[in-house]
Structure 1
């Protein structure tokens, strides 16, 4: 695209000093922009700039304007493909001879609905990013805006995720400008973390959040799409090949029959909560802790995943779980005595506390469960690490190896796409592989 510059005198409106503003004009075939300089000249003086012999004052102004035009053309050459917004940000906003253009904003802003909302004091104390001051156009400025928005929406886990990502980038090269986050920067970041032993899965989480930061900055008109470093032939967010965590039938039987200490109800509760998750379609622990008695309908628990509730407002995806005898036993033993419709089935969280407090209580509860699962794992001699999440993987894999269709497993897990479900499913067990391999020898029987 051809871009042309010129210096001209805007004679549309005379000032009280009988002078007119001098402007830099930048134009393409489809658009023209005018940038105001700090200089004012009369029509006669502006015409004299073309003369050979002029006074020292006008000669100085002519040299300044010639230098401005040359610098603008050099900046345009570096800005390929040319975009006015990028040119303004990098050149106009910083040149001493030009008046800053105020039509664009360079700082992230919360949506209007959240402008007057106050952040929970607990969150401000925990997340340093909420009380920091960030320069305009920096990654910290956008990350801060996103973290605030997520907290005000009650999405505390996601807010914590973004906060952790920012800390990793800030530790790498500081709070850099968004325009400094290039493909090279992201590759260096990835290599640096790999050298420190950080998994590709974790790096993928961090860089995926940085991608969301860029999308937010483009949406808010802070940067242009030309500066976007992600995508085809640019930086690709890595995805780790996680180790499948499902238990085998034999390991699952050991867990089911594990003899808890009768004098330690906490150990028994940890085991029962894990089994409830497994029998309950691999229900996520967050969803489990928010189940209410009104979710029970004629022998089934029907609920919507908290993770996808916002995305599926128009078409909610409901998960229906048949209540097995084991699940009923666990609810009867550990369930709430108050069985009113809006009471939680498991009395772990206080719904009257703020969402940040509920998030912290949920984390502490899951941490306690995982500690006891680790103890059981060692006692049973199981080498695989058993966590609350393993119940979900075990449910999906047991169903798959039993011949259940992936489509049904997708519905049971509440996934929006089959791809997500397939990522959950572990490889077939060794016995199944041996059985399949035997099919290759059937020709011998003939």
Structure 2
């Protein structure tokens, strides 16, 4: 139907063919030669579409016919009131908000830019990786393309690429966030949301967290390294992570003179600074002769309160440059520790992540209460710590369960 120079119709979108030959039914608005399509939440194949347009469709097809007729009528009523017509005003009137994103890539781009403006460079990189993976699977993705069928096919494709089910979950949790934002901004229909109960459920991987036993830790401490070498530096910073409550490289790099006194090192996990801004959790790690030796060897002598202790980053670095330096330093440590682990004969890849898990595991095995482990790791509650230890150290679990038949 035409309203002035505006044409309103419901049409099957042949560009978006789905499984079983179904096509999404779109509200098409044409004005001055420009066409825009909006999802209705309904699909139909060629035969069903013919039946919907017949005099007496039945059952589900009758419901679809009534639904799209209601959408078409609403669009016509909105257009009647918009003089002169504009798509921007139509979207605001029809959806209650102006459409912010026309494609999935634009939605990701907006989120990535927002994260980078907040100096959340790591999270931004994570979203960029997810976006790239989705667009390797399908070159051009409209928001309405993201349905349960799309998600199932993406999962199958990722697994076919030799990646894990955990990777599927990581990418699709990012996508779920993007769709939630798009719904809030009026760019995606809430009733077309593909995630949730009786819809597509994002898979969760079951990672067996790996840690070293105390005798293996001893081998790391005693491993010979040339003085001043990259290997020595990597070993020392790995040990610093292990001894200082599992502190990661990001937080090590950001330690300043004010964070260190004669007895302790204090820090707030960079990971939680934004979420715990109103009630930051300060982690305190006790100094000992090993920690003191590492500070003396690699740290600055008597650093000023606001001076970075290890010089991994500089105060003049932009957030992006600082993060790149820390990532490079972490890669260097992991590279040399991997070589050390292979030389010793460990059956896992020796990384700083293993150092954090080893600290936590050995802490609990020593008899420390879960609440102390939770505080040491910087977890907001004991439940988080309990989840953290779920699936921990399969070999240790097998050893513990021997007690069940220790007659």
- Bin the TM-score by the shorter chain: 0.7 to 0.9
CA distance in 1, matches of 2:65, 2:269: 48
In structure 2, C-alpha distance between the alignment counterparts of 1:429 and 1:237, rounded to whole Å: 25
Partner of residue 288, structure 1: 252
Q: Who is 1:381 aligned against?
A: 345
Give the length in aligned residue pairs: 347
SS in 2 for 1:360: helix
* Residue aligning to 1:407: 371
Cα offset for 1:165? 0.4
**Equivalent residue, structure 2, for 1:339:** 303
Query: Of residues 345, 350, 369 in structure 1, which corresponds to 2:333?
Result: 369
TM-score (norm 2): 0.76
SS in 1 for 2:346: coil
Long gaps (5+) in structure 2? 9-28, 32-52, 80-84
- Which of 421, 424, 442 pairs up with 2:385? 421
2:164 corresponds in structure 1 to 199
Match 2:64 to one of 74, 77, 88:
77
CA gap of 1:373–1:434, structure 2 versus 1, over 3 A, is closer
Corresponding residue to 2:154 among 176, 182, 189: 189
The equivalent position to 1:142 in structure 2, one of 99, 107, 110, is: 107
Distance in 1, matches of 2:344 and 2:62, equals: 68
Q: Distance in 2 between matches of 1:349 and 1:294?
A: 16
Q: Deviations over 1:136-157 (max 9, x none)?
A: 4211011000111111111111
Asked if 2 retains the 8 angstrom alpha-carbon contact of 1:151 and 1:159, the reply is yes
Distance change (3 Å), C-alpha of 1:427 and 1:160: closer
Aligned counterpart, 2:26 = none
Residues 308 and 314, structure 2, Cα contact 8 Å, conserved in 1 = no
1:366 Cα offset (Å): 0.8
In 2, are the aligned partners of 1:336 and 1:345 still within 8 Å (CA)? yes
Is 1:357 aligned to 2:321, yes or no? yes
Distance, in Å, in 2 between the alignment partners of 1:173 and 1:75 is: 33
Distance 1:83 1:230, change over 3 A: farther
Tell me which of 117, 122, 130 is aligned to 1:157. 122
1:420 to partner: Cα distance? 3.5
Give, in whole Å, the separation in 2 of the partners of 1:178 and 1:432: 45
2:15 is matched with none
State the match for 2:205 in structure 1.
Answer: 240
Change (3 A) 1:428 1:348: closer
**What TM-score does the superposition give when structure 1 sets the normalisation length?**
0.70
Q: For 1:241 and 1:295, how far apart are their aligned partners in 2? A: 36
Native 8 Å contact 2:210 2:392 kept in 1: no
Instruction: For residues 293-317 of structure 1, give each alpha carbon's deviation from its aligned partner in whole angstroms, at most 9, with x where no partner exists.
Output: 2112562222211111111122212
Is residue 2:236 matched to residue 1:269?
no
Report the secondary structure of 2:271's partner residue. Answer: coil
Q: Report the aligned-residue RMSD.
A: 3.4
Structure 1 residues without counterparts, runs of 5 or longer: 1-6, 10-19, 25-35, 39-66, 93-97, 108-135
2:265 aligned residue: 301
Which of 1 and 2 has greater Rg? Answer: 1
Closer, same or farther: CA 336–77 of 1 in aligned 2, 3 Å = same
CA-CA distance at 1:231 after TM superposition: 1.4
Q: State whether residues 91 and 99 of structure 2, in contact with CA within 8 Å, keep that contact through their aligned partners in structure 1.
A: no
Q: Which residue of 1 aligns with 2:99?
A: 106
SS class of match (1:307) = helix
Alpha carbons of 1:261 and 1:440: their partners in 2 closer, same or farther (altered >3 Å)? same
Quick check: 1:208 aligned with 2:201?
Answer: no
Q: 1:170 aligns with which of 117, 135, 151?
A: 135
Give CA-to-partner distance per residue, 1:56-102, whole Å, 9 cap, x none: xxxxxxxxxxx9xx9xxx998369699969x759x98xxxxx97414
1:320 is paired with a residue whose SS is strand
